[in-house]
Structure 1
Amino acid sequence: MAYTAADVKNLRETTGAGMMDCKKALDETGDFQKAVDYLRAKGLAAAAKKQSRIAAEGVIAAVVTGKVGALVEVNCETDFVAKNDEFQKFATNAAALAVETQLSNVDQFLTAKSSNGLTIKDNISELTIKIGEKIDVRRVEVMKLEGNGMIGSYVHSGKIGVLCRVESDKDVNGNEAFQTLVKDLCMQIAAANPQFLNASEIDETYKAKEAEIYAAQLKEQGKPEAMIPNIVKGKLAKLASEVCLYEQSFVKDPDTTIGKLIEATGKTAGASIKVTKFIKLNLGEGIEKKSENFAEEIAKLTGKN
């Protein structure tokens, strides 16, 4: 049977099998339906069924090359697979490809070709079949630097990923104090979870939302109604020190702020230094995980209810 790229595409969409497996099936059988049966018999038509599962585990990978950095969240179904060497290698390669292509749009990124000649989407299908779980590239973040400075990265246990762009008016990348600062800033962002760079970025909508939360908390605590507005006002005055990177206390030295730390490092390095952007990803953020009852699951498998 002479087949076209469209035939391979249709077979992939029908079965969820990888591109190379679809080509082989068509070569072996010479018929579309027989190719479907061939893939089913080989156990290669299972990937499509797995796409309905919830993939809330996984890993966040970070790669920085020169003046470009990337974070990629790759999800799977279980923590066991997340620790699989091949799965982690795929995540790291995906982050490296994100740096190379500078694509942060997931749909576009999935069509980018990796070093083995296959697209990310094709590689996902191959890995899904091999590992036996749904695999998904959920988020891609790319950060670029113009001029002097550095993009720092930090990944904590594969669960939290951070990129931080630190700019300077001079080339101080070789300065030890500057390098230490960039590392510390990435760890600060991971640990203290800032929402803004400084107080001027806090918008009124955010303040109003926080005020509502504070008021509800105080009411729940039994505070007198007349006192709540003043207490909320006081809390809002301290908001910047909690959610703004520059105003936060340094986790390694609570007696100093991040703003003061940056200023001191600038004096040591002989340069003007500033953070201009940061990105933080939390693994599985926003995904509703499926709750399983282990005893019930065993009962289903054994047929004992």
Structure 2
Amino acid sequence: MAITAAMVKELRETTGAGMMDAKKALTETDGDMEAAVDWLRTKGLAKAAKKADRVAAEGLVGVSVKAGRGVAVELNSETDFVAKNADFQQLVREITDVALETAEDVEVLRATHLNGKPVADVVTDAIARIGENLTLRRMHVLEGDTVVSYVHNAATEGMGKIGVLVALKGDADKAQAIGKQFAMHIAATNPVSLSEATLDPTLLARELEVQTAKALEENASSAKPKPEAVIQNNIIPGRMKKFVAENTLLGQAFVINPDVTVEQAAKEAGVEITGFARVMVGEGIEKKEEDFAAEVAKTRAGA
């Protein structure tokens, strides 16, 4: 029986096996899907499928920089314990190195070869070996005259819970020196955008609606209401200015010296920040909360 790409894809999705393993299983079983699943199970290659529905919200972010190019790669695991595993850390290191040399986004990275296999298959193999669901979730690329990296809560060199990249223009030595401080600032404050010009217009419009409604409501309930012109021309613009300052990197007070903004600190150092990336492990993933008491009660009820 001819083995089609669609059959291989279906078996991969069912079992979590690698592409070549799935194709071999179908070939060995003459295209019988159920028999192919059993074949993979007997070889220990379908173990990953049993893990696929588990939430992988822990893990590590690997960062690497070379010649004005930096990457941050997030590889998730189910537990923080696995993130401390030397095998897992080596996997993060190897994938990050591949990303730095060849990949432009996470989809390209998944298809890029590592040790003779697509990275996606390497991750699948690691699931079976390590025994937890793993997910190659995100990759950020940042380029500039100088790119500086920083890892917060480092598990080992080049990887940890938060990875930051900062791109700068100006003297390379000065950029390296203060770039690390800017990266630490970004890790701590998590700015939404570089500047007001790069803030999402939808976010600004929504905030303007909120601040306008809030100011009008406060004024209506005040014992001494202010004139409408004061509300529209002073109070609302003032609150929007504060919002922009708190949420943009260049507008934030510099954590190393709160008397100046990050933009002012950069100018004083003779450099310009042109971009940044901040990746935190599990950011945006809804973690399943385990209710131990409910689990015990359920067990007793079924006893």
The answer to whether the superposition gives a TM-score over 0.5 is yes
Indicate conservation of the 8 Å contact 1:71/1:141, yes or no.
yes
Structure 2 gaps of 5+ residues are 154-159
Q: Alpha-carbon deviation of 1:155?
A: 2.0
**Cα offset for 1:262?**
1.2
Deviations 1:192-215 (A, max 9, x none): 222232344446533332234446
Could you tell which deviates more after superposition, 237-246 or 194-203?
Answer: 194-203
Question: Paired residue for 1:159?
Answer: 161
**One of 182, 187, 192 as aligned partner of 1:185:** 182
Q: 1:257 to 1:20 in 2, by over 3 A?
A: same
**Residue pair 2:165, 2:183 contacting (<8 A) in 1 also:** yes
Distance in 1 between residues matched to 2:220 and 2:48, nearest whole Å: 55
1:279 matched residue in structure 2: 277
For residues 11 and 202 of structure 1, what CA distance do their matches in structure 2 show? 43
**Conserved? CA contact 2:169–2:175, under 8 Å:** no
**Which residue type is aligned with residue 108 of structure 1?**
V
Identity %: 42
Given that 2:75 and 2:137 are in contact with CA atoms closer than 8 Å, whether structure 1 keeps it comes out as yes
Alignment length (residue pairs): 287
Q: 1:302 to 1:122 in 2, by over 3 A?
A: farther
| Structure 1 equivalent of residue 194 of structure 2 | 197
Q: State the distance in 2 between where 1:84 and 1:137 align.
A: 17
CA gap of 1:250–1:13, structure 2 versus 1, over 3 A, is closer
Query: Using the alignment, how far apart are the partners of 2:104 and 2:267 within structure 1?
Result: 34
Distance 1:221 1:123 in 2: 58
CA–CA distance in structure 1, aligned partners of residues 196 and 125 of structure 2: 47
The equivalences for 1:1-305 within 5 A come to 12-18=12-18, 36-104=37-105, 106-114=106-114, 116-145=115-144, 149-157=145-153, 158-168=160-170, 172-173=171-172, 175=173, 177-202=174-199, 204-214=201-211, 224=221, 231-266=235-270, 273-297=271-295
1:122-180 per-residue CA deviation (whole Å, 9 max, x = no partner) reads 111101111112111111111223xxx31011221222221111012xxx32x3x4322
> 2:152 is matched by which residue type in structure 1?
H
**RMSD between aligned alpha carbons?**
3.4
Q: Secondary structure of 1:195's match?
A: coil
Q: Deviations over 1:255-293 (max 9, x none)?
A: 122122112211xxxxxx211111122222222211211
Looking at structure 1, the residues matched to 213 and 282 of structure 2 have their Cα atoms a distance apart, in angstroms, of 28
For 1:103 and 1:165, locate their aligned partners in 2 and report how far apart those are by CA, in whole Å: 17
Displacement of 1:61: 1.1
Q: 1:11 touches 1:32 (CA, 8 Å); kept in 2?
A: no
Secondary structure of 1:159's counterpart equals: strand
Which residue matches 1:270? none
Q: Which runs of 5+ in 1 are unaligned?
A: 267-272
Q: Deviations over 1:207-230 (max 9, x none)?
A: 332234446777999993657876
Bigger CA drift: 208-217 or 61-70? 208-217
Paired residues of 1:58 and 1:76 also in contact (CA < 8 A)? yes
